[in-house]
Structure 1
Amino acid sequence: MASLFAPHLGTNYCPTDEEASHIKSFLVEPGLRLRRLDDKIAELQNELDKLAAERESLVVYIDGHKALISPLRRLPLDIVQEIFLACIPTHRNCVMSASEAPVLLGRVCSSWRAIALSTPRLWSRLHIVEPQRVYGSDLTLCEAKAAQRFAATKTWLSRSGNCPLSISLLCRPGETQFAVTMPSATPLFLQALIPFAARWQHIDFTLSPAAVYSILPLMESDVPLLQSVKLQYDNPFTPHRVDLGNFRMLRGSRISSFCGVGNEIVGESLPLQWHQLTLLEMTTAGPWQTSLTSERVLEILRQCAELRTCKVSVNDRLETMIPSLPHVEVKSLHTLELHCEVLESTVSRLLHRLSLPELRNFTLSGHVHFTQDPPSLASCFASWSRLESVDISSDSFAKYSLLTSLQSLPDTVRQLKIRDTADRSLPGAVPLTTALDDSALAILTPTDGLPPQCPNLESLDLEACIAISDEAILRFIVGRMSDPSGTRLKRVNVDLNRLMTLDILPSIQPFIDAGLDVSIAHFAPYKVQFSPWQGLADAPWDPESPTPWRYAA
């Protein structure tokens, strides 16, 4: 439709009064046509709505009949139960939540609910959390929540039939300033659990020392199915002592796994059947808290012929004499974690007296007290011919001993983690000495066509290091990824407690594109703020402003 004012459309042109009158007259016919089109569209839309409603009714009708012949409805009950069981978490116990199985399964339909309630194995695993009480919270509400969970616990376990039970109980931290006005509900939950002790198979209890006494009277005959026990203090620094020497429940004939975490909960006179253990953990919040010495650990390991995993805290500080310790062989041990006080003594007196032909994973950390020669793991690494994973603290060694230890790593090592936890007053502050520097990384880097140490290395973690340069990291990655004789890296994670000196990302981008997983974090300086909104509650967030601590390259 031609218009005299077409050249002015979309501009800021202002028509005169005569032109405005002409425009109004001109738009009469287009306006009438527009109304006719709107009426037609409304008529057609009404027809479409009727057809859509009819279609929806037919869909519901057809789907309802199709549901009757759904293959899922025709599945045998045992198959449906197996599908339900496959929905249960395998890495932990089930929680009291409608967002996951088994509770979620009972919320789908009445048929599924009936199946879920009639399948005891769905209810044989349970994680219980005592409601936390915090200052200022409604005490009545907290008590009501605890009572609700107590009732839910009894109901849950009543559905488990005669199945062996796996139970984890996390109690509220005790011995707080609110303990008198806000009493713990732990006895309530233990009251619900103890009657089912005959079906305990795996238990993981985090309790206060006082609550531990509630289960001490249990005998081995009371827990005939018990296979694994984990006892942990809710407050690892509590001075309260618990004597587990008469904890007869631990003498169970099926117990193959024991974890004791906390001060004095790992007493030396535990009445365990040591010869049948496959997993043993006796650790404390700090190695200085334990009374286990190298001599006692060797004596325990001598009795654990079937042990496969061992994690212990060792304290040799109080030893004034060096006894004549025996050499012990643990043929099946594949994972060993040592957290030591007086690491030098532990290495020389414990590790050098252990024969571990099947060791695959090794972790060592501790407080260093060098009185003679700094500890070296060279002879140990050389004898562990199947070692695959190593996790050590660089400040547990002098520089020379760390280098000799790394040079002795067997070719089987695939994962290596070194933590540089030397004391620093601030992030970025250089310690007086550190063993972890470019020379340590150079041992793992191919040079002049010579193969590096650990030719099968796939994963490297360097944590909180400060003396390793960006150039050394670049040489390591390029050398490893370009070395035709060795295994290509899959993962590199470096936490550099200093500023960036060289951006290596462009140089290693081709390797990242090829699948290498790289994470390099630097200490980031505080960015000066020039925002005119500073100090206001509704100040906009600046995504370009890094945190004052770290950023990832």
Structure 2
Amino acid sequence: MSPPKSALARTDTTPHTEGFVSASEKISTSERYSPQLGIRIKNINAESALRRQVAVECAAPVHRLPPELLSEIFVHLTESNLLGYNSQKEGRNYAAHLIATTVACVCVSWRAAALATPRLWSRIHVDEQTRHLDAYVRTCISRSRKHGLEIVCTAARHLPAVIAGILPHAPRWESISLGGFFKDFCSIAPGHHFARLRDASLSINSLVDNEAGTFEFLANAPSLRQVRLNAMETIYHEPTKLPSSWQLARLHLDLDDICHLRPLVATLAQYQATLEDLICAFDDDIRSSTLEGVIDPIQLPVLGSIELSRHAFMLFSYLNAPKISEIIFIDTEARNGLPYGRLLTFLTLPSSPLTHLRRLRLMETYHAFDEETSEGLLRCLELMDELQELDVSCSAQSTFAFGYPDWMGEDMSLTLWTGLTVREGRRPVLPNLLVLRLYLGTEWLTDQQRREQHDSLTVMALSRKRARVVQGRQVVALERVEVDRGRDSSILSRLSVTG
């Protein structure tokens, strides 16, 4: 059925002329305003860009730092001692914890940078105050990723737990400082490879059975160059055995009672080809050494510095070290011509280091520099033509003249200053001396004794004020004399003799 005509009229879509005219006018109007709209849009975009730039410039500079730079700043913070940042309780020992609870809380980007910086988490420090031990160690291990580990454990009771957490990551160890009981060290399973370990400080807090391989778990450490061992006395008063596989350049032994030198010399002999620096201290003089028979001296061809404390100067009888440039005595006492008698024997060996010796330091001496002791030291100094620096430091509560107060009955001697004074007609001692440092400790001297010491020292220093030839030998000018006399403020505390 066909629709009615009225419906056809309403649905007619045939275009009419008046419709074309209206559309044309609208298009013409749009074309006329289009350039203006484009310019306005461009201006709006420029204004928005300017607003964004101003907002960025007004923001704190830290918000514009790249993550790499943030990481370096955080690392610098943890390795610094900035006032107000490192506390006495939690200094750089807990670097990761400090970062996590301070700067990492500033914003999301800072926290992301802190958590993504392995170096921040590579130092694991455990002491008696450490809380949440297992979680702390696990967090440092995981967030440090593949970075080398620096491990410190000063709490002996925590050592087993710390070792359990870090031993599976043995190839990442770079530096360790471990303190614990003898049995705990012995219980560490051997067979691990410490490919990156360079430095080890090991402290045993209990009696040691020297027959046990206390540190054999570290035998496979091809990069290990520095070891410090602090051990209490062994059952047989002999030093703890160390792995012979190490190739050490620096060895520091701080031991208790030693009654036999042979085992100690044998330990040093294990590293004779590579040892460059030796520090050794033990308490007892070797009363039974005569029962050990002949001990062959060991050759130390590259040893450059030796520091011997307390009775360790006894080792000088068993060392051939022609390249030593520095000798340090600490905390020694003079009895029966020791320690300078042993030093003199060492200096007169065919392999004497006299041509290389540049520095002699006598630190914290508590013996009296009486006539006999001063002459013993002078006999050594007379051989040291190439020596450039001499340090003499008395320990607290002692004096250059007398040592401890209970020795004050001994006569004060100025023999050392007299012997070092350069005079015409006498062979000069220490012709190449450039620096003289002294802590004389005059607390126990009378005013008269202080004056005599001051006068003798001044004459000696002035005799070296200028370079000259004496007895056919060139004597250099003394560049610096540093004198600290403790409580004595009446005497010049610093004497400069620069010519």
1:203 and 1:460 map into 2 onto residues whose CA distance is 36
| Inter-partner Cα distance in structure 2 for 1:187 and 1:491 | 49
- Equivalent residue number for residue 177 of structure 2: 204
Shift of 1:197: 2.9
Instruction: Tell me, in whole angstroms, the C-alpha distance in 1 between the residues paired with 2:327 and 2:77.
Output: 31
Task: Please give the secondary structure, in 2, of the residue aligned with 1:311.
Answer: strand
How many angstroms apart in 2 are the aligned matches of 1:418 and 1:165? 39
- 1:129 CA displacement: 1.2
Rounded to whole Å, the distance in 1 between the matches of 2:441 and 2:231 is: 26
Match of 1:159 among 143, 149, 155: 143
Match of 1:281 among 249, 252, 258: 252
Deviation at 1:171, TM superposition (A): 0.9
2:416 to 436, 440, 444: 440
Counterparts in 2 of 1:79 and 1:443: CA distance versus 1, 3 Å? farther
1:271 paired to 2:243: yes
Cα distance in 1, alignment partners of residues 443 and 208 from structure 2? 37
Distance 1:110 1:157 in 2: 23
1:360 corresponds to 2:329: no
390-399 or 119-128, which deviates more = 390-399
Residue 503 (structure 1) aligned with residue 490 (structure 2): yes
Query: Could you tell me which residue of structure 1 aligns to residue 471 of structure 2?
Result: none
Q: Deviations over 1:421-475 (max 9, x none)?
A: 99999974444548x8422233445567986636211433345885673442355
From 230, 251, 257, the counterpart of 1:261: 230
Tell me, yes or no, if structure 1 residue 89 matches structure 2 residue 104.
no
- Alpha-carbon contact 2:174-2:198 (below 8 Å) kept: yes
Residue matched to 2:117:
119
Q: Distance in 1 between matches of 2:215 and 2:307?
A: 26
Q: Which amino acid aligns with 1:336?
A: I
Going from structure 1 to structure 2, the CA distance change for 1:161 and 1:374 (only over 3 Å counts) comes to closer
Instruction: Within 5 Å, give how 1:145-544 maps onto structure 2.
Output: 146-171=130-155, 184-214=157-187, 216-221=188-193, 223-234=194-205, 238-239=206-207, 241=209, 243-245=211-213, 247-252=215-220, 253-264=222-233, 267-274=239-246, 276-284=247-255, 286=256, 289-290=257-258, 293=261, 296-297=264-265, 300-301=268-269, 303-313=271-281, 316-321=286-291, 323-339=293-309, 341=311, 346-347=315-316, 349-350=317-318, 353-363=319-329, 365-366=331-332, 370=336, 375-378=341-344, 380-381=346-347, 383-384=353-354, 385-391=356-362, 393=365, 395=367, 398-399=372-373, 400-419=375-394, 428-433=405-410, 437-445=413-421, 453=430, 455-462=433-440, 469-473=450-454, 475-476=456-457, 480=461, 483-485=465-467, 486-489=477-480, 491-495=482-486, 503-505=490-492
- Gapped runs of 5+ residues in structure 2? 1-51, 82-90, 468-476
Determine helix, strand or coil for the equivalent of 2:439: strand
Deviation at 1:211, TM superposition (A): 3.2
Query: C-alpha separation between the residues in 1 aligned to 2:100 and 2:416?
Result: 51
Question: What code does the residue aligned with 1:82 have?
Answer: E
Aligned letter for 1:404? Answer: R
Checking the alignment, whether the CA contact within 8 Å between 2:259 and 2:289 is kept in structure 1 is no
Distance 1:246 1:186, change over 3 A: closer
Question: TM-score if structure 1 supplies the norm length?
Answer: 0.60
Partner Cα separation in structure 2 for residue 404 and residue 95 of structure 1: 48
Equivalent in the alignment of 2:48: none
Identical pairs, percent: 18
**Higher alpha-carbon Rg:** 2
Contact 2:122/2:144 (8 A) holds in 1: yes
- Change beyond 3 A, Cα 1:185–1:483: same
Separation in 1, partners of 2:484, 2:289 = 39
Structure 2 SS opposite 1:96:
helix
- Cα offsets for 1:145-172 (capped at 9, x unmatched): x543443333233211111111111116
Contact conserved, 1:164 with 1:199, CA < 8 A, in 2? yes
- In 2, Cα distance between equivalents of 1:120 and 1:342: 43
Q: Verify the 8 A CA contact 1:124 1:164 in the aligned structure 2.
A: yes
Q: CA deviation at 1:191?
A: 3.6
Aligned amino acid, residue 300 of structure 1: L
Give me the whole-angstrom Cα distance separating, in 1, the residues matched to 2:460 and 2:342: 27
Could you tell me how far 1:298 is from its partner in structure 2? 5.9
Question: 2 CA distance for matches of 1:280 and 1:480?
Answer: 37
One-letter identity of the residue aligned with 2:454? I
Look up the SS of the partner of 2:244 in the other structure: coil
1:340–1:346 Cα contact (<8 Å) kept: no
Distance 2:482 2:99 in 1: 34
Offset of residue 337 of structure 1: 1.9
Distance 1:272 1:463, change over 3 A: farther
SS at match of 2:79: coil
Provide closer, same or farther for how the CA distance between residues 418 and 378 of structure 1 changes in structure 2, counting only shifts above 3 A.
farther
TM-score, normalised relative to structure 2: 0.66
Q: Secondary structure at the match of 2:435?
A: coil
Counterpart Cα distance in 2 of 1:162 and 1:99 = 19
Change beyond 3 A, Cα 1:427–1:334? closer
Deviations 1:71-109 (A, max 9, x none): x65554434433433444389x93126896686543554
| Number of residue-to-residue matches in the alignment | 406
Q: 1:65 to 1:413 in 2, by over 3 A?
A: same
* AA at the equivalent of 2:377: L
Give the corresponding residue for 1:535. none
How far apart, CA to CA, are the structure 2 residues paired with 1:437 and 1:170?
A: 46
Distance 2:442 2:181 in 1: 34
Please state whether the residue corresponding to 1:503 is helix, strand or coil: coil
2:290 is paired with a residue whose SS is coil
SS in 1 for 2:217: helix
Which deviates more, 389-398 or 323-332? 389-398
Q: Which amino acid aligns with 1:85?
A: V
Would you say the 8 A contact 2:438–2:482 is kept in 1? yes
Q: Which residue of the partner structure matches residue 68 of structure 2?
A: 78
Check the 8 A contact 1:411/1:456 in 2, yes or no: no
- The 1:104/1:379 distance shift into structure 2, 3 A limit, reads farther
Q: Does the 8 Å contact 1:329/1:354 carry over to 2? A: yes
